[in-house]
Structure 1
Amino acid sequence: MEVLRFLSLLVVFVLAVFCFPSDASLQLHPQAQFPSAHAEKLIHELNLFPKDHINIQEPDRLSSSPSDGKRLVEKPLRFPNFIGDGVSVEDLGHHAGYYKIEHSHAARMFYFFFESRNSKDDPVVIWLTGGPGCSSELALFYENGPFKITKNMSLVWNEYGWDKVSNLLYVDQPIGTGFSYSTDKHDIRHNEKGVSDDLYDFLQAFFTEHPELAKNDFFITGESYAGHYIPAFAARVHQGNKAKEGIHINLKGFAIGNGLTDPEIQYGAYTDYALDMGIISKSDHDRINKVLPVCEAAIKLCGTDGTISCMASYLVCNGIFSAVMSRAGSINYYDIRKKCEGSLCYDFSSMEKLLNQKDVRDSLGVGDIDFVSCSTSVYQAMLVDWMRNLEVGIPGLLEDGVKLLVYAGEYDLICNWLGNSRWVHAMEWSGQKEFQGSSEVPFVVDNSEAGLLKSHGPLSFLKVHDAGHMVPMDQPKAALEMLKRWTKSSLAENSAEPKNLVSSM
């Protein structure tokens, strides 16, 4: 009761500060207090307008869907509008399908799988898009997948697709996102345990059907809110391996791109980053920072007190971000070099159009299942998870030799490099002092500096030049080279002499 009483006072205080401030610069955006409206705004800024809020299906709608009771529904993928430049589609190891999630009520998880263009012995790399609640097809078609979508809705090769150096998986998750669906609302996930258990079950099903790949090195990658998913998923795989629960998964590393992992540290970096980049003034910085101790206190409560305090901390701390944006104007918070035109920051609508074409849906075998590009319902369901610190499980993985790469585009505000650098440096593990004291070196691609790299043992941090939130979209060549070197344990290859550089802040 004492905690709830304090929490109530905390919320009242923050709402009073932000909703009735003496200085207009601290006002929240009108929709910032309402998560559903905020989620819709985020989705519409990408020019995405999914028909449904979540992919929970009525059983009677599944007559022509892949719901035939089998554990696996998978088929070779043959996109009808693929322009292969002389490559026969039949020769490509491209697959799409569903796995029934064993420990769910009625969930089926949709995925794309692309065999490596180089060798089947290449690592297996899984990609998770964040949101929470956005389909991984966003990355497939706009970042690091085998294809790009042309203006006439054809598909052409992506010269820098990650399938050039890996066997590549994209999964629609959590359940209800993309083409992944359930007929039972109990399969909607609210925390990382549910998310990571589903993903572990997915991998067990995948490697059961593809046993020849189980021996390959395995890496987990993703961006944005996947900064929560990825550490939890990596820990779940590691736990399953130790307990010999099922097929051993050869986990070698996990990579987080512009992620949200340790909110207490990262929310504290918003004003510092914005000031450094000239987005806000010093007086704005100091006024907004008066609320930071309240945000930090709310996050601490979330870590110990469950769901109510986690919701309150979401409201409190996102007021800081909203206050920064109220001063920044129409900048694109995914890439501060750009402006959002009206309500549009990016145009990813071609993905929705493509995946809603009947011939494409037939090729994917999804039947009547709707494509939910980004789910507002999944977003809201995960709000109690938002402010939890997922850094806490990482040191144990590092101690057991599982590699971590944290990378961030330098012009992203929402999951900026400064906040990511700070939590990586603050993380307590046996190599912390050596990592903190190690020199930074330029990350060199084709004789040009593509970023700044700091490494010690299994831990690496890379600040990527000339990139925003979506590094593989903004710097595709550097991102492919990053993956290739990291999976081969040669990330610092071709680097220049060590320098003292600013990303150690």
Structure 2
Amino acid sequence: MEGRKAEFHHDIALLLLLMWVTISECITADSSARVEFLPGFEGALPFDFFSGYISVDEVNEYRLFYYLIKSENNPSKDPLLLWLTGGPGCSGFSGLVIETGPLRIKVEEYNGTLPALRYNPYSWTKVANVIYVDSPIGTGFSYSKSPPDYATSDSKTVKDLHKFLTNWFIEYPEFLSNPLYIAGDSYSGITVPVLTSEIANGIDSGYRPVFNLKGYLVGNPVTDVEFDSQVVPFAHGMGLISDELFEATKISCNGKYAFPKGSQCNLNMQAVHETYGYMLSHYWANNERVQEVLHVKKGTVNEWKRCNYGINFKADVASSVVYHYNLTMRGYSALIYSGDHDSSVPFIGTQAWIRSLEFPIIDDWRAWLVDGQVVGYTRKYTNNLTFATVKGAGHTAPEYKPKECVAMLKRWISNEPL
């Protein structure tokens, strides 16, 4: 009985705290973090935009930078997505303007002036509130005054993000009751399921405040190096590399592409991989006026990089497969999607690790459509796990097929078949 009384008093105290925060913090958060306009974007913003910092450790001034775009539909009822861009070390801004957000950088020859922005009518904010966060520390505008904080890892990133989200809800308590989904792509295929599991475990153990966690989604996800390393057979099957290069790489690497061994294997693997940078976002985000509008603290980051691959990061989670298994077995919904032209994390490897879960199929392989056209293929398993390909999309899918991907998201979060 005494234990129940103590728990009751604790919950009442928490409720009073949240009521007070709703009255006071909500006003200050809106006023201090709101972005009224963006340099390079013509006219008023057609959505509610907020950006700033959430403290992870105030003693060391360890702060993660975020961008919040409220839903363009019904912010008070629509789901809340925490979006984690991959890398590790890629800024949330990359997700906002290249993948799932309501902004796009106009792709035109750079002439030394500020790159222009345009509106993306197929943003995921059409159906959800989305937080884009610069994580882990050293990514984007996130910073700390303590140098040891910059040594991070998968597991530390997850702990920091859990604390970030807890403190974010203190700033924005009006979203605490919204259905919460953890989302991301590429390397976040590791971070998303591990963070979702961390949150789920907290809920089970009585962590306060209680997040309204419903599930998670990952696109073109890094999951397990052995499953993901199908780039060579995929690229050959798609006609992206010649028969000669495929056979030479297969022989020199002995059919194992995850950890190239030998000089000839390395040379052949380099010939298979090619990359491309997003220069215009670099010029835009490093503009002094832009940083002022976004509420970036001066002197904290010397140079903004879309992807900072120089961060001190240790990959201490070798595989996220077991997290997918445990989360879906516990009733959390999962959407796994892949651009079918992605050679970085080929969908054939993603299909392989999903099959390894050995879940029964309840809706077998079939086409899914948008505007009457086939835009991919999907399969649904027990435990609310859905897999989908996005036809013609690369790494990452929403960058190439925004209209199709927002349709996919809308159907999935509405519990409708794709």
Partner residue of 1:76 out of 29, 34, 44: 34
Q: What residue is the counterpart of 1:470 in the other structure? A: 396
Q: What residue is the counterpart of 1:385 in the other structure? A: 316
Q: Which moved more, 1:280-289 or 1:188-197?
A: 280-289
Shift of the 103–289 alpha-carbon distance from structure 1 to 2, 3 Å rule, reads farther
Partner residue of 1:324 out of 260, 269, 283: 269
Q: What residue is the counterpart of 1:405 in the other structure? A: 335
Shift of the 77–352 alpha-carbon distance from structure 1 to 2, 3 Å rule, reads same
Q: What residue is the counterpart of 1:417 in the other structure? A: 347
- Asked if 1 retains the 8 angstrom alpha-carbon contact of 2:48 and 2:70, the reply is yes
What is the TM-score with the length of structure 2 in the denominator?
A: 0.83
Q: What residue is the counterpart of 2:48 in the other structure? A: 93
Shift of the 118–439 alpha-carbon distance from structure 1 to 2, 3 Å rule, reads same
C-alpha offsets along residues 3-51 of structure 1, whole Å, 9 cap, x if unaligned? Answer: xxxxxxxxxxxxxxxxxxxxxxxxxxxxxxxxxxxxxxxxxxxxxxxxx
- Asked if 1 retains the 8 angstrom alpha-carbon contact of 2:57 and 2:63, the reply is no
Counterpart of 1:324 in structure 2: which amino acid? Answer: M
Counterpart of 2:305 in structure 1: which amino acid? Answer: V
Q: What residue is the counterpart of 1:499 in the other structure? A: none
Q: What residue is the counterpart of 1:271 in the other structure? A: 232
Task: Tell me how many residue pairs correspond in the alignment.
Answer: 377
Q: What residue is the counterpart of 1:454 in the other structure? A: 379
Shift of the 474–391 alpha-carbon distance from structure 1 to 2, 3 Å rule, reads same
Question: How far off is 1:106 after superposition?
Answer: 3.7
Counterpart of 2:173 in structure 1: which amino acid? Answer: P
- Asked if 1 retains the 8 angstrom alpha-carbon contact of 2:260 and 2:266, the reply is no
Distance in 2 separating the partners of 1:285 and 1:171? 38
Counterpart of 1:447 in structure 2: which amino acid? Answer: G
2:212 matched to 1:250?
yes
Shift of the 271–148 alpha-carbon distance from structure 1 to 2, 3 Å rule, reads closer
Shift of the 319–137 alpha-carbon distance from structure 1 to 2, 3 Å rule, reads farther
- Asked if 1 retains the 8 angstrom alpha-carbon contact of 2:137 and 2:152, the reply is no
Q: Please give the residue correspondences for 1:344-383 in structure 2 after superposition, counting only pairs within 5 Å.
A: 345-368=275-298, 369-370=300-301, 371-378=304-311, 381-382=313-314
Q: Please give the residue correspondences for 1:133-144 in structure 2 after superposition, counting only pairs within 5 Å.
A: 133-144=89-100
C-alpha offsets along residues 70-103 of structure 1, whole Å, 9 cap, x if unaligned? Answer: 9999510123436466xx44x8421001011049
2:367 matched to 1:442?
yes
Which stretches in structure 2 are left out of the alignment for 5+ residues?
Answer: 1-27, 109-113
Root-mean-square deviation over aligned CA pairs: 2.8
Question: How far off is 1:133 after superposition?
Answer: 0.8
Shift of the 354–224 alpha-carbon distance from structure 1 to 2, 3 Å rule, reads same
Q: What residue is the counterpart of 1:199 in the other structure? A: 161
Counterpart of 2:79 in structure 1: which amino acid? Answer: P
Partner residue of 1:484 out of 400, 410, 413: 410
Q: What residue is the counterpart of 1:181 in the other structure? A: 143
Q: What residue is the counterpart of 1:213 in the other structure? A: 175
Shift of the 397–185 alpha-carbon distance from structure 1 to 2, 3 Å rule, reads same
C-alpha offsets along residues 127-146 of structure 1, whole Å, 9 cap, x if unaligned? Answer: 11111111121121122211
Distance in 1 separating the partners of 2:59 and 2:347? 36
Which stretches in structure 1 are left out of the alignment for 5+ residues?
Answer: 1-69, 296-313, 334-339, 493-505
Q: Which moved more, 1:388-397 or 1:444-453?
A: 388-397
Shift of the 71–82 alpha-carbon distance from structure 1 to 2, 3 Å rule, reads closer
Q: What residue is the counterpart of 2:356 in the other structure? A: 426
Q: Looking at both structures, which has the greater relative contact order when contacts are Cα pairs under 8 Å and sequence separation is at least 6?
A: 1
Distance in 1 separating the partners of 2:221 and 2:32? 31
Q: Please give the residue correspondences for 1:27-176 in structure 2 after superposition, counting only pairs within 5 Å.
A: 74-81=32-39, 83=41, 88-89=44-45, 92-102=47-57, 105-120=60-75, 121-150=77-106, 151=108, 153-176=115-138
Distance in 2 separating the partners of 1:73 and 1:226? 31
- Asked if 2 retains the 8 angstrom alpha-carbon contact of 1:102 and 1:201, the reply is no
Question: How far off is 1:374 after superposition?
Answer: 2.0
Distance in 2 separating the partners of 1:319 and 1:219? 44
**Seq. identity, %:** 28
Q: What residue is the counterpart of 1:292 in the other structure? A: 256
Shift of the 122–109 alpha-carbon distance from structure 1 to 2, 3 Å rule, reads same
C-alpha offsets along residues 234-289 of structure 1, whole Å, 9 cap, x if unaligned? Answer: 1111111111222111111211111111112222x233213322324363354145
Distance in 2 separating the partners of 1:266 and 1:376? 20
